[in-house]
Amino acid sequence: MLILGLDPSLSCTGWGVIRAEGSRIVHVANGQVKTDPAAPMAARLDHLHAAVAAVIGAHGPDRAACEEVFANKNPQSTLKLAQARGAVLAACGSAGLDVHEHAARLVKKALVGTGAAEKAQVQAMLKVLLPGVRVEGADAADALAVAIADAHLGRDIR
């Protein structure tokens, strides 16, 4: 089963595709989609949507996984995250993909064993689980972590 992990953000959305074969995880691809901070909001959201749709078209995942939304102390940041998330999830919906949403603590627990894990611990575990893989950046690492957690949680809602 191919799983697309997503870490949505307006400035840089991470994505990662893995193949889950039983308990075996194989890296397929990963990357980041950056938007121009000077561009109008509608153009940035369109770019995110189109880029995620292209990833879906290129890799043909069976399902997608994304972290659940969280609230920042800054309402504007929360709103921008929600808009970016909407564009990314709409690309998944347009492709007919089921999307599993997982709390950040659950993703960390599935990878590291504790929901209070630091980013460095998650990235270290990625190196263990996906040896030799070149990860395109922190957002791509987070997206791979979400995909792996989804595979480990074994939820298949089809």
Binding residues: 7, 67, 139
How does DSSP classify residue 62?
A: S
Of 21, 46, 62, 67, which one is the catalytic site residue? 67
Which neighbouring-strand residues pair with 64? Answer: 4, 99
Of 21, 98, 118, 139, which one is the catalytic site residue? 139
Q: Which of 30, 37, 151 is nearest to 84 (CA)?
A: 37
Catalytic annotation present for 7: yes
CB 8 within 8 A of CB 49: no
Residue 113 C-beta-side C-alpha neighbours within 13 Å: 3
Binding residues for Mg(2+): 7, 67, 139
Active site residues: 7, 67, 139
